[in-house]
Structure 1
Amino acid sequence: MPRHSRALSPAFTRHWTAVAVSNLGDGVTLAAGPLLVATLTTDPLAVSAALFAQQLPWLLFALTGGALADRLPRRTLVVAGNTVRAATIGGLALVIAAGTPALWQLYLVSFLFGTIETVADTAHSALIVDSVPADRLGRANARLYLTAMLNNQLAGPPLGALLFGVAAAVPFGLHATACAVAALIVLRIPVQHRPPPPRTTLRADITDGVRWLWGHAGLRILAACIFIMNLAGVGAFAIWVLYGTQHLGLTTTQYGLFIATGAVGGICGAWTYERLETRFGHTTLLRGGLVVEALTYLALTQTSDPWVAGAIMTVFGVHAVVWGSVAATVRQRATPSELLGRVGSVYQLASVGGSVAGALLGGLVAARFGLLAPFWSAFALVAVMTVVAWRRLADVRPGQTVQQ
């Protein structure tokens, strides 16, 4: 990241370190998990079910996890979540070492892992706000995006595939160790004491979070944007391997390099985020990001040249990190501390809901109307969203009034 005279806090440095360690573990199993499933079955539905099992808890428990993150000590939730994750994935590593696991065991672990994430990840996002001054949240979020890009997408998967080739249990054991180390690091973060929340029901807490986000015009349009962007994007990228191998004519090795272009763009986006935020401001970056996203899908329908497509995805990678960092920053700045967990969980529910719907629809659209149809659909959806959201994105400023 660019050097800056205003350094981030020691507490954030510990957050960042914990995230870096856990992201590496996530990246390792991002490759090792599908490889393990593929050794047990070649049924595409059975393979995809493992990912769905990890996403399903976000649809079921995201709002409950957000309410718990506002009720209970957030550092404790993050430490407990990482500890349980370490035990869960460590148990799977022992099962693999002892013999061949059953598919239902992998689905169960995926579901448990996703359930823990609904609480721990939401609490961690809220905990970041307690560790960084408001005017440096954008820089902190961009740094976290950069770390996730490096460890979760570039370094972790190749390491996971390599370790899986050595012994199937090894990458899962490494992931368990990473979760345990992350828990120990978070334990060293100073506790921010918050006033005890009023005694209410969990349902009332969830309702308050949903109502607050809905009453904030800026965050409401951001949640709508992320739902449509993920519906469109995941729908198109669900058939990404077919676009690369059939439409662009890439070999397996070339396809791997093609995927990396987006990550390279993401690194550039995180590296330049602070300059972009200072020069253009949040509203301009959000509006420009929608335009870039819509044009990305349109451009991908117009080329069959791998070099052009790679350049397009590099630009898209820049946009994805910048837009994500801006959205996280304005949400964190606008939301009262006592509501950070609940508001964040509503936003995450919109994000995951769009992703799940896109994953289900993308293949169906491609099968019915052709390989490029999901990209045309994505262009149309995001273009309409851009028009609808353009003026409303002016309301993302933190001081915007909440209407009850």
Structure 2
Amino acid sequence: MRALFTAPMGADFWKLWTASAVTNVGDGITMVAGPLLVTSLTSSPAAVAGAAFAQQLPWLLFALISGAWADRLDRRRLVVAVNLLRAAALATLAVAVTLDNATVPLILAVFFLLGTGETLADTASAAFVPAIVPAASRPRANSLMYANFNVLNQFAAKPLGGWLFVVAAAVPFAVNAVTFAVSAALIATIRAVSPRPAPSASVDPRSPGLRAEIAEGVRWLMRHRLLRTLALTMAVGNVAFCAAFAIFVLHAEQRLGLNEVGYGTLLIAFAAGGFLGTLAAPALIRRFDAAPLLRLGLLIEVALHATLALTRNPLTAAAMIVVFGIHTTVWGVVATTLRQRDVPPAMFGRVTSVYSFLDLGGAALGSLLGGAIAGAYGVVTPYWVAAVAMTLVAAAAWRPLGSATLRTS
């Protein structure tokens, strides 16, 4: 752990990391408090599900457009402005809850605005690390950014969100508003972010248009064999994973014999694995390089689904989930570092947005497929389908991934 924090990454990175840590706490709080607020107003399952969907929908609608805007505008100013707007939206909701004027439509509207802001802020801020951190330190920097999500968002913030909601229903949203304001203030002090990028040479600067800029980003990614392989592998992997885990609560109950507490405890294994992956990723990258880690990750994906299809032992399932959590963080650090190295700065927003679109699109499609498959053929079948799908993906991606390296010649 000490090596992670002693890497020479500069003051600007630590401002960025702190801003990310603060917003991860706030996001985790709202992730818990949002459904609790909806259920305090209505018992409708559609309304509860709608709150989550309202925040996910903008990724499907606006991810590619946000990528183009992130390449057009000053990225630092864009993130600052979006975070202030998100703070205002959450403050409005907190006031409405305090005055007992909150309604389900208002909650859905606020969550949709939060999701829309997320498409812009996350896409633009993805370009910060390669702009402010030396190439040799990026694996450590990316690991630390993943640690914010794994430790703060997944571990610390969720119980805090439930506790704050019990204190007063408006408090979690007020706290999240403050986190966005603090994050905006920190991002505004970063001086090392590259200035507004110039238009790409391959697009006519007289009339590129958003559609042309988006198409250019998609074409660039599709022509890059390694990054294309990573993007498509991630897309199919998310379909397979979400098809299996959309019904995980039923699998835990019917196959593993767990009650609600046991199921909640099992979910902690994902976060525990992610945290261990954060600690291990820099050393693993130094020792084995990118290609072996990416290839091993595909085998772990197959093993996860096959293990859950076969086992009835909760401890076996938990152990495999921890290994999978390690893999997801290591894979994410490797893939992010490769993307930071190879994508031209002026196109980083657009290429990142394609990844986000494939990520969220695969997750949404997988969730729909998983429910349908489980309903027709039982809760084990989605895991077998996912295992077969990832076996085919591993076979197709094995050779292209062999060219992946983070070592300098």
The residue number in structure 2 matching 1:178 is 179
The residue number in structure 1 matching 2:133 is 132
Q: How many equivalent pairs are there?
A: 399
- Structure 1 counterpart of 2:21, one-letter code: A
Q: Does 1:15 align with 2:23?
A: no
User: Which of 308, 311, 314 is the equivalent residue of 1:303?
Assistant: 311
Q: Secondary structure at the match of 2:23?
A: helix
Moved more, 106-115 or 197-206: 197-206
TM-score by length of 2: 0.94
Contact kept? 2:59, 2:119, Cα under 8 Å: yes
Alignment of 1:176-325 (within 5 A): 176-190=177-191, 191-197=193-199, 198-199=205-206, 200-325=208-333
Report the alpha carbon displacement of residue 193 of structure 1 after superposing the two structures with TM: 2.4
Q: Deviations over 1:13-54 (max 9, x none)?
A: 110000000000011111111111222333333321221111
- Structure 2 counterpart of 1:379, one-letter code: A
C-alpha separation in 2, matches of 1:204 and 1:63: 11
Consecutive unaligned residues of structure 1, counting only runs of 5 or more, are 400-404
Q: Deviations over 1:134-159 (max 9, x none)?
A: 22222111111111111110000000
- Structure 2 counterpart of 1:333, one-letter code: R
Report the alpha carbon displacement of residue 2 of structure 1 after superposing the two structures with TM: 4.4
- Structure 2 counterpart of 1:37, one-letter code: V
Report the alpha carbon displacement of residue 100 of structure 1 after superposing the two structures with TM: 5.0
Moved more, 293-302 or 29-38: 29-38
The residue number in structure 2 matching 1:71 is 72
The residue number in structure 1 matching 2:150 is 149
Alignment of 1:344-363 (within 5 A): 344-363=352-371
Moved more, 185-194 or 89-98: 185-194
C-alpha separation in 1, matches of 2:108 and 2:274: 31
Contact kept? 1:334, 1:397, Cα under 8 Å: no
C-alpha separation in 2, matches of 1:61 and 1:157: 27
The residue number in structure 2 matching 1:385 is 393
- Structure 1 counterpart of 2:182, one-letter code: V
C-alpha separation in 1, matches of 2:188 and 2:8: 22
The residue number in structure 1 matching 2:202 is none
C-alpha separation in 2, matches of 1:311 and 1:372: 19
Contact kept? 1:2, 1:271, Cα under 8 Å: no
- Structure 2 counterpart of 1:111, one-letter code: F
Q: Secondary structure at the match of 1:189?
A: coil
C-alpha separation in 2, matches of 1:45 and 1:395: 46
Q: Deviations over 1:253-305 (max 9, x none)?
A: 22221111111111111101111001111111111101101110100111111
- Structure 1 residues 278 and 163: alpha-carbon distance in aligned structure 2, compared to 1, 3 A threshold: same
Moved more, 131-140 or 153-162: 131-140
> Where has structure 1 moved over 6 Å in runs of 4 or more?
none
TM-score by length of 1: 0.95
Contact kept? 2:289, 2:405, Cα under 8 Å: no
- Structure 2 counterpart of 1:3, one-letter code: A
C-alpha separation in 1, matches of 2:250 and 2:45: 14
Contact kept? 1:12, 1:128, Cα under 8 Å: yes
The residue number in structure 1 matching 2:120 is 119
- Structure 1 counterpart of 2:8, one-letter code: A
% identity of equivalent residues:
45
The residue number in structure 2 matching 1:402 is none
Contact kept? 1:219, 1:396, Cα under 8 Å: no
C-alpha separation in 1, matches of 2:277 and 2:263: 22
CA RMSD of aligned residues (A): 1.6
Contact kept? 1:301, 1:375, Cα under 8 Å: yes
C-alpha separation in 2, matches of 1:185 and 1:194: 19
- Structure 1 counterpart of 2:194, one-letter code: Q
Q: Deviations over 1:192-214 (max 9, x none)?
A: 22453245322211111011001
Q: Deviations over 1:153-177 (max 9, x none)?
A: 0000000001111111111111111
Report the alpha carbon displacement of residue 104 of structure 1 after superposing the two structures with TM: 1.5
C-alpha separation in 2, matches of 1:236 and 1:169: 35
Q: Secondary structure at the match of 2:320?
A: helix
C-alpha separation in 2, matches of 1:234 and 1:119: 24
Q: Secondary structure at the match of 1:209?
A: helix
Contact kept? 1:218, 1:397, Cα under 8 Å: no
Q: Deviations over 1:94-129 (max 9, x none)?
A: 111111522211211111111111111100001221
C-alpha separation in 2, matches of 1:363 and 1:342: 32
